[in-house]
């Protein structure tokens, strides 16, 4: 289904791009000055506009209705054919504009070239008009079908990435993990002696979106923990188990400096030197590798730490936890419905005030949404952000009654899918583009913007350098 989402995002944005092109002054001026059929252009614009307002509904319904997905796939082909045609017209317009600026040495050459270009343009325009007529009929068929299959007109624009994790956390938004934090703290601050080395390993186990990283962040930033350990470091490991990258991240976190070394041995020696005879706390977030030898290689530089040194790992895989941990595995449980509602309301309303008014329709709807989050903090947080500062009951009811909650056996959480669905089309395209990068890939902001520009996702004609801000 992820592929369908990405495809839908590009289709939405392509429609918007075509609409912008059709209504641009430069494009319209060229149409007027040539023998291209303006009425066909108007007809294409009308069809695209009609399809644009039903596309959001089609993207959502395709998940549960195969017929609509098939309709979308066929529409995609038609839209891309229309895009090719308009690109050809734009190319011709640019070519004519450049030819007018070219210096002609001979008047005869000028007349000959003009005559040749006139014949070429005339033939080209006839072909374009013929192709345009075919595309208009094709698009009009999709417009008629959209009504037949029950697609509704919707308006995009309701506003609301996984980044590599860091140690920073907003504790005021933490809900329902007080007992979990206390359990982890007791392990970290215990004076138990490790049997084979000086480090203890605490494993936090749980499914994605359950709050493993947030719990580790809370413990990592606790004042008592800060006083207990001589040094701390945080590294996001992720599925791409790269000892070089993780070692470098730990070293840079400890020293608060950037290392340019590409020699693993140099980095390991330096990390061993810094951690020797120090009581440290290292966090290895999102660990997937369950190879015992790889784990041994990763921790070997800091096994000479002071007794009481600790490593926290967060993982979705029990086997990973079993390979690494020296303490009992701490498995996170789902939040209660009450905690889900508390978390959702904090993000949606900025406070818990609504909870004091049990008779409000907004709270009643919000609690129903919270129950559908299935105890997942990330779902409650995401939907809370989606409903941020919205006190219109219709917005909350729309989320509650969405068909997306009926998804089953899918890797995309319904709540996250919902937040994606409410993005405007141009942001869907930029967001979907990020899916080509591996999980936790470090994206440099300016580079990503330049890539979006290269793909034509951004309108850089307005405001010049505004994209740099």
The Cα-based distances of 77 to 14, 66, 188 in angstroms read: 12, 17, 58
Residue 5, class by beta-carbon neighbours within 10 Å (0-12 exposed, 13-18 middle, 19+ buried)?
buried
What's the mean pLDDT in 357-377?
A: 80
∠ Cα 413 336 161 (to 5°): 30
pLDDT for residue 318 is more than 80: yes
Q: How far apart are CA 220 and CA 215, in angstroms?
A: 9
Task: Report yes or no: 363 and 355 within 8 Å, Cβ to Cβ.
Answer: yes
Please state which of the ranges 156-160, 399-403, 423-427 shows the lowest mean pLDDT: 156-160
Using a cut of 0.75, tell me whether the model's pTM lies above it: no
What's the mean pLDDT in 45-74?
A: 81
pLDDT for residue 421 is more than 80: no
Share of the chain above pLDDT 90, in %: 11
**pLDDT band at residue 331 under the 50/70/90 scheme:** very high
Spatial CA neighbour of 416 closest among 112, 57, 244, 161: 161
Per-residue pLDDT of 8-48, as tens digits, reads 556 776 777 788 888 888 888 888 888 788 888 889 988 88
Q: How far apart are CA 242 and CA 91, in angstroms?
A: 46
Residue 167, class by beta-carbon neighbours within 10 Å (0-12 exposed, 13-18 middle, 19+ buried)?
middle
What's the mean pLDDT in 150-160?
A: 56
Q: How far apart are CA 295 and CA 387, in angstroms?
A: 42
Residue 408, class by beta-carbon neighbours within 10 Å (0-12 exposed, 13-18 middle, 19+ buried)?
exposed
**Joined tokens for residue 103:** 């210096």
pLDDT of residue 314: 92
Task: Report yes or no: 271 and 301 within 8 Å, Cβ to Cβ.
Answer: yes
pLDDT of residue 1: 43
Per-residue pLDDT of 166-185, as tens digits, reads 666 666 667 888 899 999 99
Which residues share a beta bridge with 315?
Answer: 205
> Looking at per-residue confidence, does 442 or 312 come out higher?
312
Task: Report yes or no: 330 and 183 within 8 Å, Cβ to Cβ.
Answer: yes
pLDDT of residue 424: 65
> Looking at per-residue confidence, does 465 or 82 come out higher?
82
What's the mean pLDDT in 383-397?
A: 81
Residues 6+ positions from 114 with CB-CB distance below 8 Å: none
DSSP state at residue 247? H
Residue 220, class by beta-carbon neighbours within 10 Å (0-12 exposed, 13-18 middle, 19+ buried)?
buried
> What is the chain's mean pLDDT, rounded?
78
**φ and ψ at 91, to 5 degrees?**
-60, -45
pLDDT of residue 118: 47
Alpha helix locations (H) across 261-412? 264-275, 292-299, 318-324, 337-349, 361-372, 377-386, 393-400
> Looking at per-residue confidence, does 124 or 283 come out higher?
283
Please state which of the ranges 30-39, 111-120, 167-176, 192-201 shows the lowest mean pLDDT: 111-120
> Looking at per-residue confidence, does 326 or 205 come out higher?
205
Please state which of the ranges 44-48, 141-145, 151-155, 385-389 shows the lowest mean pLDDT: 151-155
Residues 6+ positions from 437 with CB-CB distance below 8 Å: 443
pLDDT of residue 284: 92
> Looking at per-residue confidence, does 398 or 3 come out higher?
398
pLDDT for residue 249 is more than 70: yes
Share of the chain above pLDDT 70, in %: 76
**For residue 119, how many other CB atoms are within 10 A of its CB?**
10
The class (CATH top level) of 171-331 is alpha beta
Q: Which residue has the tokens 């993780």?
A: 246
pLDDT for residue 231 is more than 50: yes
∠ Cα 342 345 349 (to 5°): 150
**pLDDT band at residue 119 under the 50/70/90 scheme:** very low
pLDDT of residue 63: 65
Which conformational region is residue 86 in: left (phi greater than 0), alpha (psi within -120 to 50 degrees), or beta?
alpha
Q: How far apart are CA 74 and CA 460, in angstroms?
A: 31
> Looking at per-residue confidence, does 286 or 357 come out higher?
286
């Amino acid at each position: 289904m992820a592929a369908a989402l990405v495809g839908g995002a590009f289709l939405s944005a392509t429609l918007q791009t075509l609409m912008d092109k059709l209504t641009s002054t430069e494009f319209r001026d060229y149409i007027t000055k040539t023998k291209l059929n303006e009425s066909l252009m108007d007809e294409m614009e009308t069809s695209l506009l009609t399809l644009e307002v039903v596309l959001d509904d089609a993207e959502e319904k395709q998940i549960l209705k195969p017929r609509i997905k098939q309709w979308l796939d066929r529409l995609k082909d038609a839209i891309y054919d229309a895009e090719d045609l308009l690109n050809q017209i734009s190319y011709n317009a640019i070519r004519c504009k450049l030819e007018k600026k070219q210096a002609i040495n001979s008047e005869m050459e000028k007349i000959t070239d003009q005559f040749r270009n006139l014949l070429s343009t005339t033939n080209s325009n006839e072909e374009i008009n013929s192709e345009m007529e075919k595309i208009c009929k094709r698009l009009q068929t999709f417009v008629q079908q959209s009504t037949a299959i029950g697609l509704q007109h919707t308006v995009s624009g309701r506003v609301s990435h996984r980044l590599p994790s860091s140690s920073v956390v907003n504790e005021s938004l933490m809900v329902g993990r007080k007992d979990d934090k206390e359990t982890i703290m007791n392990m970290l601050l215990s004076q138990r002696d490790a049997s084979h080395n000086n480090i203890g390993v605490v494993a936090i186990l749980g499914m994605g979106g359950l709050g493993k990283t947030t719990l580790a962040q809370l413990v990592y930033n606790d004042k008592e923990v800060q006083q207990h350990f001589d040094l701390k470091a945080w590294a996001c490991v992720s599925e791409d188990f790269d000892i070089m990258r993780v070692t470098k991240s730990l070293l840079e976190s400890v020293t608060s400096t950037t290392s340019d070394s590409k020699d693993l041995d140099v980095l390991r020696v330096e990390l061993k030197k810094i951690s020797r005879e120090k009581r440290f706390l290292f966090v290895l977030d999102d660990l997937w590798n369950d190879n015992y030898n790889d784990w041994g290689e990763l921790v070997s530089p800091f096994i000479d730490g002071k007794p009481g040194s600790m490593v926290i790992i967060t993982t979705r895989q029990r086997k990973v936890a079993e390979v690494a941990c020296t303490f009992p595995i701490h498995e996170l449980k789902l939040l209660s419905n009450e905690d889900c509602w508390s978390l959702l309301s904090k993000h949606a309303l900025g406070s818990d005030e609504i909870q004091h008014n049990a008779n409000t329709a907004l709270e009643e709807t919000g609690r129903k949404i919270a129950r559908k989050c299935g105890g997942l903090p990330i779902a409650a947080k995401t939907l809370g952000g989606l409903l941020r500062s919205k006190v219109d009951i219709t917005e909350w009811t729309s989320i509650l009654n969405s068909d997306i909650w009926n998804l089953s056996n899918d890797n995309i959480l319904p709540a996250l899918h919902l937040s994606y669905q409410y993005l405007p089309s141009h942001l869907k395209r930029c967001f979907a583009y990020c899916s080509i990068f591996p999980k936790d890939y470090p994206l440099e902001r300016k580079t990503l913007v330049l890539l979006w520009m290269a793909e034509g996702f951004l309108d850089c004609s307005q405001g010049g350098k505004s994209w740099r801000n």
